[in-house]
């Protein structure tokens, strides 16, 4: 009986040592598998009445577990009679530019609004979502294209003043387009003192003055009515009101008073 007891004790001791040895020499947990983000390019949309205010959109189907340093859309503009564009934009391509988004990368749709995009500057826009990872790798979405409405094209727009006229706005029309225009002119805002209020982004809700219809390919000039004939600073931009009630705005120019 004593012999059996000693054998049993030896067996228990051996099992204990084996179990302790297994726990003490456990293999380390495996490294997590690196998982890239998965993204989609979404259609460019127009959010309201101003036809050249554009929502640039993309979405994260999956963020992955590799850090993302930046993301957004890659843009490549095709102008008339130009071959300096990329139908499939890539980061680092000389004919592609990055529109970086501001917020943290999260699953779902991301939108960046660009106001008063110049339709005069391009015939077709090629665009594509991208996400750049910390290690330099770039993940891409599908390449898509956007063709702007063929509105009459603005050329140069200048503001000037003279001894007898406080402000004159000259607008060059360089193309008639295919969209019928109901009105075109200048939207403007001005202040008369350093501390006065002025709109840096003048719209039709501010002051307006119209050029004579019909629209024609040439330079058009109009004097801007200024109460009292003097101002401290003036902001102005050309506009078009289309037959479908949509609005198109050009770029803002500024003029300092005397």
Q: Do the beta carbons of residue 159 and residue 253 sit within 8 Å?
A: yes
Task: Provide the pLDDT for residue 20.
Answer: 52
Task: Calculate mean pLDDT across residues 87-116.
Answer: 96
Q: CA-to-CA distance for 175 and 215, rounded, in angstroms? A: 9
Please give the average per-residue pLDDT across 107-121, as a whole number. 94
Q: Which residues of 101-137 are buried (b: 16+ CB within 10 A; e: fewer)?
A: beeebeeeebebeeebbebbebeebbbbbbbbbeeee
Rounded CA-CA distance 157/219 in Å is 9
- CA-nearest of 194, 183, 256 to 220 is 183
C-beta separation of 141 from 73 below 8 A:
no
**CB-based contacts of 34: which residues, under 8 Å, 6+ apart?**
64, 65, 66
Strands, sheet with 68-78, edge to edge from the N-terminal-most edge strand: 97-100, 68-78, 124-133, 138-146
Tell me the whole-structure pTM to 2 decimals: 0.79
Residue 21 has pLDDT above 70, yes or no: no
Task: Provide the mean pLDDT of the chain.
Answer: 89
Enter the tokens of residue 185. 């002119």
pLDDT tops 80 at residue 218? yes
Q: Are 210 and 153 in contact (CB under 8 A)?
A: no
How many Å apart are CA 220 and CA 240, to the nearest integer? 14
DSSP letter, residue 107: S
Inter-CA distances, 39 with 67, 97, 108, 211, Å: 14, 18, 9, 46
Distance from C-alpha of 194 to C-alpha of 256, rounded to nearest angstrom = 11
- For 228-245, write each residue's pLDDT tens digit: 999 999 999 999 999 988
Which residue in this structure is represented by tokens 């003097």?
230
Question: What confidence tens digit (pLDDT) does each residue in 33-87 have?
Answer: 557 899 999 999 999 999 999 999 999 999 988 999 999 999 999 998 888 999 9
Quote the tokens at residue 182.
Answer: 């109901």
């Amino acid at each position: 009986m004593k012999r059996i007891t000693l054998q049993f004790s030896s067996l228990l001791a051996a099992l204990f040592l084996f179990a302790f040895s297994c726990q003490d020499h456990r293999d380390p947990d495996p490294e997590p598998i690196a998982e890239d983000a998965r993204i989609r390019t979404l259609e460019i949309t127009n959010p309201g009445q101003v036809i050249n205010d554009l929502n640039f959109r993309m979405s994260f189907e999956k963020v992955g577990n590799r850090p993302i340093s930046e993301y957004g859309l890659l843009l490549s503009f095709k102008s008339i009679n130009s071959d300096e564009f990329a139908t499939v934009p890539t980061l680092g391509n000389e004919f592609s530019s990055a529109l970086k988004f501001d917020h943290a990368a999260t699953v779902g749709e991301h939108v960046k609004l660009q106001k008063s995009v110049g339709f005069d500057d391009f015939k077709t826009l090629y665009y594509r979502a991208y996400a750049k990872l910390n290690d330099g790798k770039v993940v891409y979405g599908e390449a898509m294209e956007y063709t702007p409405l063929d509105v009459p094209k603005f050329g140069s727009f200048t503001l000037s003043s003279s001894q007898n006229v406080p402000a004159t706005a000259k607008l060059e029309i360089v193309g008639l387009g295919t969209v019928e225009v109901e009105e075109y002119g200048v939207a403007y805002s001005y202040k008369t003192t350093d501390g006065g209020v002025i709109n840096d982004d003048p719209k039709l809700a501010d002051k307006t003055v119209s050029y004579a219809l019909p629209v024609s390919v040439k330079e058009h000039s109009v004097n801007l009515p200024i109460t009292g004939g003097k101002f401290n600073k003036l902001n102005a931009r050309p506009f078009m009101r289309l037959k479908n009630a949509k609005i198109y705005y050009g770029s803002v120019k500024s003029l300092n008073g005397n």
